[in-house]
Amino acid sequence: MKLLALPTSPFAARILIQAHEKGLDLALEYPPEGRSVAEHAALNPFARIPILVVSEAFLIESAAIQEYLEDVHPAPSLRPGDPLGTARMRALVLAVDHYLFPAIRALRGRGELVESDGQLLALHETLDRLQRLMGTAGYACGGHLTLADCALAPAVFYLERFLAAREQPSALAGRERLAGWWDTVCGHDSVSRVIGQLDRAANETGR
């Protein structure tokens, strides 16, 4: 298997956290400097990565890639142990993708663009709602690291980075459940390792 990815991608990062947690030797391939991601349209009609290449086949969309890796490498499991818990985990992953990431992207202004109070208010409302979906055992869903944690950790990393650059308070401030979750997941070598890689890549690219 080979993962086509960008070093700054939070969607590739969630797959890498999963791979490290499982001890998978997942080969990585980054586009050469100057090469357009659009060249991957031969594999993904939407011209986006990450893409997982499996022999002569390929998979797109990080959530689908992660579910595939769970199916073919079930131990250690990064799913809760029951159907309802697994469904709640998947719902949380979808909430990160459909609600949190759009709110984060609104902060990624270029140049002198200043975010409006409305954008920041929407972000904080999203965080409060997301926190209500999270578990109370230190993890996003259940009592151990799951795919929901893999998805949320890179998102929070970028969120904290963007807020700090705009001299805004931490997203963790005043959110005890979210702050406790961050402390817990960062105690995993798989998470801290990938977050460190994201940090270096983001600094190098100025992202």
Question: Range with the lowest mean pLDDT among 51-55, 73-77, 163-167, 188-192?
Answer: 163-167
- Banded model confidence at residue 48, pLDDT cuts 50, 70, 90: confident
Give the rounded percent of residues in the chain with a pLDDT score beyond 90. 71
**In which order are the strands placed within the sheet that holds 27-29?**
27-29, 2-4, 51-54, 57-60
pLDDT, tens digit, for every residue of 67-102?
999 999 999 999 999 999 999 999 999 999 999 999
Q: Answer whether residue 43 shows pLDDT above 80.
A: no
Q: Which domains are delineated in the chain? A: 2-72 (3.40.30.10), 83-205 (1.20.1050.10)
pLDDT, tens digit, for every residue of 135-155?
988 999 999 999 999 999 999
